[in-house]
Each structure stands twice: as C-alpha cells, then as structure tokens.
Amino acid sequence: MKSYLNLFNFSQKVNYKTEILSGLTVALALIPEAVAFAFIAGLSPLTGLYAAFSMGFVTSIFGGRPGMISGATGAVAVVIVALAKSHGIEYIFATVVLAGLIQFIAGLLRLGKFIRLVPHPVMFGFVNGLAVIIFMSQLVQFKTTDAAGELHWMTGTPLYLMIALVLLTMFVIWGLPKLTKAFPSSLAAILVISAVVIGFNIDTKTVGDMASIKGGFPPFHIPALPFNFDTLKIIAPYALIMAGVGLIESLLTLNLIDEITETRGSGNREAMAQGAANMLTGLFSGMGGCAMIGQSLINISSGARARLSGIIASVMLLVFIMFGSSLIEKVPMAALTGVMVMVAIGTFEWVSIRMIGKMPKHDIFVGILVAVVTILLHNLALAVLIGVIISALVFAWESAKRIRARKYTDGSGVKHYEIYGPLFFGSVSAFNEKFDVLNDPDEVIIDFKDSRVADMSGIEALNKLTERYQNVNKKLHLKHLSEDCRVLLKNAEELIDINILEDPTYHIAIDKIN
C-alpha cells in the first residue's frame, strides 16, 4: 500500500483545506476558459467542459507534476478548428485519440528530456508572451453583443460597473494575503464579487451569458467514421501537430511550476499522462487539451502542492456541469476576469525587463522575438521552436568565433599549432585560415589538447588539411585527440581515407598514408 501511495505522491504531507479550496477556485476558473476554447474550435461548450474534466482528472492522478492543471486549451483549439469546419466533430474525436497515442509513445520513448534544450531567454519570451495573451483574452469581457449579434465595446454604466468589479476583484486578491493566508484569495474574490452582484441585483455579464453549462456525465462514444487509411491521412497531420503543441506547452508549464515550487517533476511521466488523458477524452466526447498555465498558476499561488487539488478541480467541474449549472451560471464574469488579469500580472517575468542592457544582446533579442511571435500568432509551440532554432544558430556562431591557434616552432624545426575551441561545421572556415601550408616546415603538429572535433565537417576539414600538406610533401601529425574524436575518425576512415596510428613521440598521431 505504501509503494502505491508513493507512486502517485499521495504519501506526502497534504494540507487538505488548502488543496480543496484551491481546487474549487480552479474549477470555477476552468469554466469560462473551456467554453471559450470550445467556441474557438467551432464546437459545443460541453466538448470543452468534458475535456477539462477528463484531462484534469487523469493528469492530476498520473501526471509528472503535482499541482499542475490540464484541460481544454486555446493552443489545441487553434489546431483543430479547420478540421472541425471541414469534417465535423467525429473526426475531432478521432484526432484527439490519435494525438494522445502519439504523446503516450513519446513518453515511453523518454522524449520529454528534449525540453531541456529550451534556453532561458526562450522561456522568458514564452512566459511574457503568454502573460500578454492571458491579459488580452480578458478584453473580450468588456464587449457586448448587439441585436445583430456583433460584438462592440461597452459604454456608459455597464462599462464602469465591469471595470469597478474587476478592480475590486484584483484588490481582494492583492489585499487578502496581507491579512491572512488561511483562505485562497482568488476564491474569496470570486465569492465576494458574486455576493455583491447577486445581493444588489447588479446587471452585469455572468457565466450564463456565455453559454449554458448544464449537461450529464461525459458519454462514452467511439468516433463514428470509417476506420481506413483515407481517414488516417485526414486526421494524422492534425494529430501530429496537436500532440507536439500539447507536449511543448505541457512540458514548458511543468518547468515553470518546477521553478516556482523549487521541486522537480517528470517530463516523461507527464507526456504519458497527457497521452492517456487525450485518448480517454476523445472517447468521452471531449475536444482534447494539455496543461493550462493560467489555471496551474492559480492553483500554485493558492498554496496547492499535491495532486488532490487537481482531482478536486476536475471533480467539482463535473459536479457543476451535472448538478450546479444554475448556480454557477450566476457567477459574474468580472470576478473571473479579475482573477485572470492577476494571473497575467503574476505570470509576466518582470525581472526580464531589468535584464535589458545587462544580458547579451542576442539573448534579449531571442526573448523579445519569442514573446512577439507568441502574441501575434497565439502559437506557443511555433514561438518556442523559432526561439530554440535562433538560439542554436547564435550559439553556433559564437562558438565558431572562439576557435584560435597558438603557433610556434621548436628547436627541431617542427612547427606546432595549438588549437583552442571546438572544430565543427561553424568553425571550419576559421580553422583552415590558421594554417600556412606553403611556408610551413616539413613537419607540422596540430595539438588538440584544448579543442575537440565535434562533427563530420570537422573530420572532413582535417582530411582536406592533410591532403594540402601531403601535396607539398610535408608530414602532418594530430596530437592529443580526445577519445570521442578518435572514435569519429575511426568511423569515418573508409569515407575520408584517414588511418589512426599510435605515435610514440606524439602519443596520438594521424597520418595520411598512400
């Protein structure tokens, strides 16, 4: 029994009051998000709500990050909206199942470790861009629908009431922790604003104005479509993109929560849990999803650290759908908007602004670029991918500039080149420029004690250099090659005709042999 509890992190000391209250707060915050994302995808509100329940429940139990919240997300909605319009809901369910299978396999193959390749400037840009998106997504709550069904900005009393209620919500969230931390400030703010609106019969937007959330238990449903290769060709591209976007967003959220809580989650376990949750969601009439940064931050900021809060959030969401819809639909949108605005403020890495002028210019550029792409395209995965690629190119460029050579001729007339820095595709040109083949003596030693050959381009550079010395009847030795460099050269021997010889004078020497 003890090992079972350890497996799911239930054996840790849990503050049940904090976990339950935090879970209730998250459940309330999940409703408008799930409904809105379902609308973005062109689906019914219940498909988003069912996804929020099933994704949250499964990942809270089996996921790799206690306290992280999963549900229907905008990133997934953007991916599947075209498929929903062209082929309908049944193909969406099948796509969600296939995406979940891909994610599960990725976890089995332990691909979650590749999230470590995301540099810190990219994380800054991702988080800051996301904070701006969270804030901007709340602006729609300051719009109203006219008789023609078109949205336009509120004016007059409705606008002033909305602003006042949002500001009051933010004030409660900011001020309550200064008095007591016994009760989650976000939940207190929602309850206070709801009591004010209902008690004084204030005419303002409520959850019920978005859509009805009344429903039953998510129905089990095998997608009604032909199970053949043609169907696979339709859904596979969407499933691959959805799986990739979901994993990137979930693993980045996991890293962010790790930093906040100073603990370490399991990326591979989270990938498998996300996959299992999506497979289950597709079979229980949900639109699929991934980790939700906003709701995860609400949960963590409320003090939750265990799996119980996520379980409570998903179960309470289902209770609201099945039994409490009439009550929840009276919750004012101003309260939920105020909560999300405070999440946006708390999410933004304000320290990144102070770093401008103190950090390398290319790191600042990457962070700003990722933030801008995130804001403009609302595609978190693409923004991160662009940031990683640019960071890698910048690293390659900077590393290429570091290769240097110290030159001297010893008493025997042998010229030495001591190489500093890595020899790889980016530094090959600078490496070749270091050598004066025609004017060098008959015997030359290249010392790699402070360098290493990193790739095939480096090997080919050595081969070409050897040929240049051989063509003028001069002998070249390569000294102090590391073991991995020697392996690379041995593996490439048939391709570039380099033989490795043990040299008693230079310890390791590689000569071109006819």
Measured CA to CA, the distance from residue 104 to residue 327 in angstroms comes to 38
Of 25 and 466, the one with more pLDDT = 25
* Tens-place pLDDT, residues 278-293: 999 999 999 999 999 8
What's the chain's average pLDDT?
Answer: 85
Nearest Cα neighbor of 281 from 445, 477, 72 is: 72
Q: Is the pLDDT of residue 512 over 60?
A: no
Nearest Cα neighbor of 121 from 375, 397, 390 is: 390
Lowest mean pLDDT among 64-73, 148-157, 417-426: 148-157
> What are residue 143's DSSP bridge partners?
153
Length of the chain: 514
Lowest mean pLDDT among 65-69, 133-137, 153-157, 441-445: 133-137
302 contacts 184 by C-beta, under 8 angstroms: yes
Reported confidence tier of residue 455, pLDDT bands at 50, 70, 90:
confident
Measured CA to CA, the distance from residue 200 to residue 194 in angstroms comes to 10
Measured CA to CA, the distance from residue 417 to residue 405 in angstroms comes to 6
Q: Is the pLDDT of residue 459 over 50?
A: yes
Measured CA to CA, the distance from residue 454 to residue 462 in angstroms comes to 12
394 contacts 359 by C-beta, under 8 angstroms: no
Residues 6 or more apart from 153 whose CB is under 8 A from it? Answer: 142, 143, 144, 159
Residue 383 identity: A
Lowest mean pLDDT among 113-117, 180-184, 262-266: 113-117
Q: Is the pLDDT of residue 506 over 50?
A: no
Q: What is the pLDDT of residue 222?
A: 94
Reported confidence tier of residue 490, pLDDT bands at 50, 70, 90:
low
Domains and CATH numbers, the chain: 14-354 (no CATH), 404-511 (3.30.750.24)
Percent of the chain's residues with pLDDT above 90: 40
* Tens-place pLDDT, residues 363-422: 888 889 888 988 887 777 778 888 888 988 888 888 888 889 999 999 889 999 999 988
When pLDDT is averaged across residues 203-226 and rounded to a whole number, the result is: 91
Q: Is the pLDDT of residue 465 over 70?
A: yes
Q: What is the pLDDT of residue 496?
A: 42
Q: What is the pLDDT of residue 491?
A: 60
Reported confidence tier of residue 35, pLDDT bands at 50, 70, 90:
confident
Of 262 and 97, the one with more pLDDT = 97
Q: Is the pLDDT of residue 439 over 70?
A: yes
Beta strands 151-153 and 143-145: pairing type?
Answer: antiparallel
When pLDDT is averaged across residues 193-201 and rounded to a whole number, the result is: 92
Reported confidence tier of residue 6, pLDDT bands at 50, 70, 90:
very low
Q: Is the pLDDT of residue 355 over 70?
A: yes
Percent of the chain's residues with pLDDT above 70: 91
* Tens-place pLDDT, residues 154-173: 999 999 999 999 999 999 98
Q: Is the pLDDT of residue 237 over 50?
A: yes
Q: Is the pLDDT of residue 3 over 60?
A: no
- Helical segments of 8-108, H only: 16-40, 45-62, 74-87, 89-108
- Helical segments of 109-222, H only: 120-137, 156-179, 185-199, 207-210
Q: What is the pLDDT of residue 497?
A: 40
